[in-house]
C-alpha cells in the first residue's frame, strides 16, 4: 500500500474510533471523513460500507487491549494487580467494544473477518489467563468470569470518563475482590 494511502487509512480508523465511541456507530460517514481530513470517496474506497469500517475499528481496539494486558503482565507481580491495571487502562483508553462483539455470542461479522477474529481471540486468551490466575490466587471471586467483566467494561466505557465513573470502577473492583 502506498505511503499516503496508509496514512489516510490510519487517520480514518483513528477518527472513526473517536467518533464511534463518542457518538455511536451511527455517526455519519461524511463526518468521519471530514474528521479524518479526507473525502467520503476515500473512506468508501478503503471500507466498502459501514460494517467494514466498524470491523477495522474493532480490530484496532482488540489489538490495543491485548497490548494493554501484555504491558500489565510485564510490570505487575500478582494477577490481581494485572487485572486492576488492565481495567484501568481500558477505562483510560475509552475503548468501547462496538456492538458488543465479544460478549453476546459471536456475530457473523467476526466470523467473516479472519484478522478481526484472530486478534480478538488473542486478546480473549490473554484476558482469560489473567482471570484464571487471579482466581487461583484466591484474589478474584469465583462466580464471575470474562463475560461479566467484559460486559461491565463495555457498558462502562460508553459514558464519558469523569470522577464519577472512576469511582464506579473502584466500587466494581472492590466487589470483584474475593
172 binds a copy of itself (CB under 8 A): yes
50 binds DNA (CB under 7 A): yes
d(CA 7, CA 170): 38
3-state secondary structure of 127: helix
Distances (CA, A) of 51 to 38, 107, 133, 172: 19, 12, 36, 32
From the list a copy of itself, DNA, none, partner contacted by residue 122 (C-beta under 5 to 8 A by kind): none
From the list DNA, a copy of itself, none, partner contacted by residue 48 (C-beta under 5 to 8 A by kind): DNA
Q: Are 57 and 14 in contact (CB under 8 A)?
A: no
Q: Are 122 and 66 in contact (CB under 8 A)?
A: yes
Q: Are 126 and 70 in contact (CB under 8 A)?
A: yes
42 binds DNA (CB under 7 A): yes
List binders of a copy of itself among 116-155 (CB under 8 A): 141, 143-144, 147-148, 151-152, 154-155
28 binds DNA (CB under 7 A): yes
Distances (CA, A) of 170 to 16, 154, 158: 29, 16, 17
Q: Can you give the binding site for a copy of itself, defined by CB under 8 A?
A: 26, 100, 103-104, 141, 143-144, 147-148, 151-152, 154-156, 158-160, 164-165, 167-168, 170-176
Site residues (vs DNA, CB under 7 A)? 1-5, 8, 26-30, 37-42, 44-46, 48-50
Amino acid at each position: 500500500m502506498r505511503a499516503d494511502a496508509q496514512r489516510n487509512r490510519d487517520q480514518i480508523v483513528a477518527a472513526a474510533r473517536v467518533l464511534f465511541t463518542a457518538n455511536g456507530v451511527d455517526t455519519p460517514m461524511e463526518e468521519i471523513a471530514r474528521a479524518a481530513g479526507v473525502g467520503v470517496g476515500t473512506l468508501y474506497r478503503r471500507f466498502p460500507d459501514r460494517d467494514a469500517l466498524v470491523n477495522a475499528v474493532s480490530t484496532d481496539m482488540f489489538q490495543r487491549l491485548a497490548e494493554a494486558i501484555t504491558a500489565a503482565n510485564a510490570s505487575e507481580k500478582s494477577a490481581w494487580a494485572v487485572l486492576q491495571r488492565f481495567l484501568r487502562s481500558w477505562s483510560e483508553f475509552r475503548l468501547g467494544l462496538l456492538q458488543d462483539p465479544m460478549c453476546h455470542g459471536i456475530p457473523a461479522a467476526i466470523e467473516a473477518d479472519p484478522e478481526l477474529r484472530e486478534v480478538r481471540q488473542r486478546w480473549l486468551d490473554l484476558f482469560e489467563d489473567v482471570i484464571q490466575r487471579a482466581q487461583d490466587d484466591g484474589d478474584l471471586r469465583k462466580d464471575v468470569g470474562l463475560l461479566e467483566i467484559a460486559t461491565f467494561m463495555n457498558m462502562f466505557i460508553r459514558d464519558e470518563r469523569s470522577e464519577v465513573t472512576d469511582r464506579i470502577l473502584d466500587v466494581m473492583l472492590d466487589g470483584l475482590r474475593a
